[in-house]
Amino acid sequence: MKRFGLFILLLMVGLSTGGCGYNTIQQNDEKVIAAWGDVEASYQRRTDLIPNLVETVKGYTSHEKDTLTEVTEARAKVGTLQVGSDVLNNPEALNQFQQAQGSLSSALSRLMVVVERYPDLKANQNFLDLQHQLEGTENRINVARVRFNDAVRIFNTSIRTFPGNLTNNFLLKLPRREPFKAESGAEKAPQVKF
C-alpha cells in the first residue's frame, strides 16, 4: 500500500508540474518578442521606403515639369517673334526665329518621347503609386501592432491565470508586457509634403 501511495504522489507531482505552464509562458514570451520585431520591421520599411518614393516622385515630376516648362517657354518665345515678310531680308531676325523654332521642336520632341513612353505622363501614376505604397505601409504597421497586442494579451493572460501565475511568481518572475499604445496626437494623420 505504501508503494501505491508513493506512486500516486509521484503521479500527481508529475502531472501538476507538467501542467505548470512553464513552456507555454516561454512560448508566449517568444511570440511577444517576435511580434514586436514585426512592428519594428514595419516601421523600418516605412523609414526606408517613404523617403525613396518621395524622392522618386519628386525627380520624375521635376523631369516632366522641366519638359513641359521648356515647351511652354519655347512656345512663348516663338509667339513673341513678329514674323513677316521682312524676316527673310533680315538674317539676324531669321536666325532668332529659327532658333526659337528649333527650341520649340527640341522641347516638343522630348515631350513626345515622354508621351510615347508614358502616354498618361507618369507623374500622375507615380503619385498614385506613392499613395498606394503609403497606404500599404501604414496598413502593415497597423497589422503588426494588432498582432503584437494580441501576443501581449495572450502572454499576460498566461502569467496571470492558474497555474501559470504560480510558475511565473516562483520560477520565471517575468513582468507583465505593455501593449502598443498610440502616442498623444496620433489621432492626426501624418502629412506628406512635396
Per-residue pLDDT at 191 exceeds 60: yes
In this predicted model, what pLDDT tens digit does every residue of 30-41 receive, in sequence order? 999 999 888 888
In this predicted model, what pLDDT tens digit does every residue of 50-95 receive, in sequence order? 777 767 766 766 767 777 677 777 767 766 666 665 655 577 776 7
* Cβ neighbourhood burial of 84 (10 Å; 0-12, 13-18, 19+): exposed
Per-residue pLDDT at 152 exceeds 90: yes
On whether the CB atoms of residues 180 and 34 are closer than 8 A, the answer is: no
Ranges 25-29, 45-49, 51-55, 149-153: which has the least confidence: 51-55
Angle of CA points 133, 194, 116, to nearest 5°: 70
Per-residue pLDDT, 14: 61
Of 172 and 100, the one with more pLDDT: 172
The model's pTM is 0.62
Per-residue pLDDT, 83: 61
Per-residue pLDDT, 146: 94
Reading phi first (left if > 0) and then psi (alpha if -120 to 50, else beta), residue 175 is in beta
Say how far apart CA 22 and CA 167 lie, in whole Å. Answer: 6
Per-residue pLDDT at 154 exceeds 90: yes
Strand, helix or coil for residue 179: coil
